[in-house]
Amino acid sequence: MATFNLDKAHSELEFKVRHMMISSVKGLFGDFDIELTSDSEKLSGAQIDVTIQTASINTKNEQRDQHLKSADFFDVAGFPEITFKSTSIDEKSDTDFVVKGDLTIKGITKPIEFDVECGGAGKDPWGNIKVGYTINGKLNREDFGLTWNAALETGGVMVSNEVKFSGEIQFAKS
């Protein structure tokens, strides 16, 4: 069984939502951990466990970040973590995969799937084996109790229900 440790200095998790239906707002979670264990070098057959600290949300706007941390959205005091546990990984090609699993936000667990592309593997100057992945997916925030919104006089709403998420993730084989 091979274990891969997250290289936090070379990894990021981002999200994007439509704001007022006219533009997008991006943000990230600065504090997260991903555990990856596998019987082989390939992602298929691996087990992935993700833990995200909700208080680490950052949209580059302190007022908005405080609102996102409140009970209107993530309620970081009551729900300090978002978790994901993979249930299966389907190989579409040598480099492309679909990861399926259970995502828990605010105590609500729902199945979700997202695309993963393996960027490759290599040895760094210190002899460590590194593997890189790009992830892309989307979810409906209301499915997880993130229901705050405001109607606009022009129609539409302040924040879209669809949240797109992405990540650049690098692991070191231990």
Condensed to tens digits (0 to 9), the pLDDT of residues 115-152 reads 999 998 889 999 989 999 999 999 998 999 878 766 76
Cα 134 to its chain centre, rounded Å, is: 11
Average pLDDT over residues 67-89: 95
CA gap 102, 111 in Å, rounded: 5
For 148-165, write each residue's pLDDT tens digit: 766 767 776 667 788 899
Cβ atoms of 31 and 13 within 8 Å: the answer is no
Cβ atoms of 113 and 139 within 8 Å: the answer is no
Where does 2-173 sit in CATH, by number? Answer: 2.40.128.110
Q: Give the predicted TM-score (pTM) of the model.
A: 0.91
Cβ atoms of 137 and 165 within 8 Å: the answer is yes
Mark out the alpha helices in the chain (DSSP H runs): 62-69
Other Cβ atoms closer than 10 A to 99:
22
CB half-sphere exposure, 56, CA atoms < 13 A: 15
Within the chain, strands assigned E span: 2-6, 12-19, 23-29, 32-38, 47-53, 57-58, 81-91, 96-105, 108-123, 129-140, 159-173
Close Cβ partners of 152 (under 8 Å, ≥ 6 residues apart): 20, 21, 158
Domain extents for the chain? 2-173
